A and B are shown apart, each in its own frame.
Chain A
Amino acid sequence: MVPSLTGSGSGLHVAPVNTAAGMVCRRVFARRARAPIPAGGCMAEYSVFSLVRHALSGHRSWNRAWRDPEPRRHYDVIIVGGGGHGMATAYYLASLHGVRSIAVLEKGWLGGGNTGRNTTIVRSNYMLDENAHFYEKSLQLWEGLSRDLNFNVMFSQRGVLNLGHSDGQMDSFARRGNAMRLNGIDAELLDRDQVRRMVPYLDFSQNARFPIRGGLLQPRGGTARHDAVAWGLARAADRHGVDIIQNCEVTGFEMSGNRIRAVETSRGTIGCDRIGFAVAGHTGHLAAKLGLRLPIETHVLQACVSEPVKPMIDSVVTFGVGHFYVSQSDKGGLVFGGDLDMYNSYAQRGNMPLIEHVISAGVSMIPSLSRLRVLRTWGGVMDMSMDGSPIIGLSPIDNLYLNCGWCYGGFKATPGSGWVFAHTIATGAPHPLNSRLSLDRFSRGRMVDEPGAGPFPNRH
C-alpha cells in the first residue's frame, strides 16, 4: 500500500470533486491564518463573512492586498525577483525566521515571470533522494498553503499520470515508483486497463502509433492556480512587513571586498546585508554583472491553452513518447505544453514549429484534440541547469545566495524553495533538504541527473 502522507487531517487538502462538474476545486474559506497578522485584526481578511460584508457595499471597500512602498535606503535582506520563489522566500524569512527588514525587488510586475506563465503542475515523483525529499517537502507545504496564507491557491490534488508505452518504460516506472515509495512518497503503477478506466479518451485503438502499456500515477500530485500563488504569497509577505517593490530592476552591484554592499536599481541604490537571487531565467544575466559564470543556460519554453470546453480531463496526463502534458483549467481550457525550443533564448516567446510538434504529439495521445482550437500560446525563459536539478544555496560571493536552475519544473517547488532558501539566508548555511543541491556539486562530480542525460541543459 501507499504510505499516506496526507492523512494528518490538518491540511486543507483541496481535493478535486468527483462529480459531473469534474475538476471544480472545492472552495476553501479558511478560518484564521496561523501566523499573527499585524494589520488584519483577529478576523481573517478573506472569509465567507468578509465576502458577504463587502458584497453588501458593492465590493468598493476592500483593502489593497499589498502596499506599494517606496524603497528604503537599506534592508537586512534583499530578494531579487518577485516570482513565486522570491515571494515565498520573503514570506518564510519574515514569518519563520523573524527577519524584520526585507525587500523583494521585481523589475516588472509581481508574478509576471515564469510564475505567471507555467502550466501549474505540482508533483514530487522523483527518483533521486536529493530531489525526492526536497520536492516532497514542497508538496507537503502545498497541502497546507491555502490555510497558511489565508488565500485559496486552488491546489487540486487531481493526480499526475505518466504514460508508459514500452516494456523498458514500464520497468523504469517500476524502478522510480519503488524509489518514491521507499522515500515515503505515494506512487501507483497502473496497467493498461487501469489507465483506460482513468483516462478513457486516450488513443487505445488498434491504430495507436505508440500503444499505451500502463502508467505511473502520483495521486497526490495535481495543479494550483499560478496567479493565486503569487498574490497569496505577496499578501502574506506584505502583512509580515516585507516591502514588495515592483518596476525596480537590479542593474548592478556595489561591492566591498567579496561582499555586495548595495544593489543599483532603476529606482536608486539600495543597501543590503544579505542578498538572494530568485530571478529564474535571468540568473545568468545578473550573475554576469558580478563576473560569475554558472552551470546554467537560458532557454525558452512555450505552452498553450485551448478554447474552453466541458469537463474532459480531470487529472494531469503526460505522454511517454513525445514530450506532451495536459490538464484542464477550472475555466475549461486545456492547458498543455511540451519541449523547449532547444536554442538559448531570453525572448519569452518561441517559434511555431515547436507548437506544431507539441500539438501533433498531443493529437497522437488524445485524438479528439484535433477538433479543438488553440486560444493562446506564450513562452517563458527557463534557467536550465547542467544536470536538470535546481541550485539552492551559497555562492562564491560571501553574502549572495543563489536560487536557480529550476528548468521547467520550478512551480511545484515554490513553497519548498522559499522554505529552504529562507533557512539558508537566515542561518548562512543550507538546510539538509538543499545541502546536496549546492552549486559546488558540479565541480565535485556529484550531479543530480534524474534522466542521466549528461551536461546538456536542453536535454533535461
Chain B
Amino acid sequence: MIRITCPYCGPRDHQEFAYVGDATLTRPSDDAGADAWYDFVYLRDNPRGPHLEYWQHVHGCRAFVKVLRDTLTHEVLATGTAADDLVAGGR
C-alpha cells in the first residue's frame, strides 16, 4: 500500500486516489505546432527514480494532488497541491 498525504485530507492510502500521470508536462498553446504537441501528448521522461506525478483524490476531496514518488521503491518523497513546486523531503 502506498500512503499519500493529501494536502486537504491528510494521509490516506492510495486506493482512495486515481492515478493521473506525469506532472512535469505543460500544455502547449493551440498554435504551438506539431512538434510541441507531439512532445506533450506522446513523449515521457519515464524516470527510474523520483517522478513528479498527479493523483486525484477521487474518494476524498477530489483535488488533484501533486506527488513526488520514487518509481523504483514506491516511496513518496513529497506531496502538495497541484500548484506547489515540490522538492524531495518536504513541501
Contact = CB atoms under 8 A, between A and B. Distances in A.
Contact of A344 (B14, B15, B38, B71): B71
Interface string B38-52: 110111111110010
A298 B47 CA distance: 9
A149 interface: no
Contacts of B1: 351-353
B9 interface: no
Contacts of A199: none
Interface in B29-83: 34-35, 38-39, 41-48, 51, 53, 55, 69, 71-74
Q: Which of under 10, 10 to 19, 20 to 34, or 35 or more describes the interface residues of B?
A: 20 to 34
B87 interface: no
Query: How big is the A interface, by class?
Result: 20 to 34
B43 to A, nearest CB: 4
Contact of B45 (A293, A347, A442): A293
Contact of A347 (B34, B47, B73): B73
Interface centre among A296, A344, A345, A353, by most chain B C-beta atoms within 10 angstroms, is A344
B72 A294 contact: no
Interface centre among B35, B44, B55 (most CB of A within 10 A): B44
Nearest to A455: B41
A346 B43 contact: no
A323 to B, nearest CB: 15
Nearest to A383: B46
A298 B19 contact: no
A342 B69 CA distance: 14
A75 to B, nearest CB: 26
Interface string A363-397: 00000000000000000000000100000000000
A297 interface: yes
Interface string A328-358: 0000000000000011111100011100000
A296 B48 CA distance: 13
A285 B42 contact: no
Given A347-B73, A353-B1, A295 B42 contact: yes
Contacts of A205: none
A351 B15 CA distance: 10
A456 B72 CA distance: 21
A293 B44 CA distance: 6
B71 A347 contact: yes
A443 B34 contact: yes
Given A288-B47, A346-B48, A346-B72, A351 B42 contact: no
A86 interface: no
B2 interface: yes
B42 A344 contact: no
Contacts of B55: 343
Given A345-B74, A351-B1, A294 B34 contact: no
Contacts of A455: 41-42
Given A293-B43, A346-B71, A347-B73, A285 B48 contact: yes
Interface of B: 1-2, 13-15, 19, 21-22, 34-35, 38-39, 41-48, 51, 53, 55, 69, 71-74
Closest 6 A-B residue pairs measured CB to CB?
A284-B46, A295-B42, A293-B43, A346-B48, A285-B48, A343-B19
Interface of A: 282, 284-285, 288, 293-298, 342-347, 351-353, 386, 442-443, 455-456, 458
14 contacts: A284-B44, A284-B48, A285-B46, A285-B48, A288-B47, A294-B43, A296-B44, A297-B44, A342-B19, A347-B71, A347-B74, A353-B15, A443-B34, A458-B19
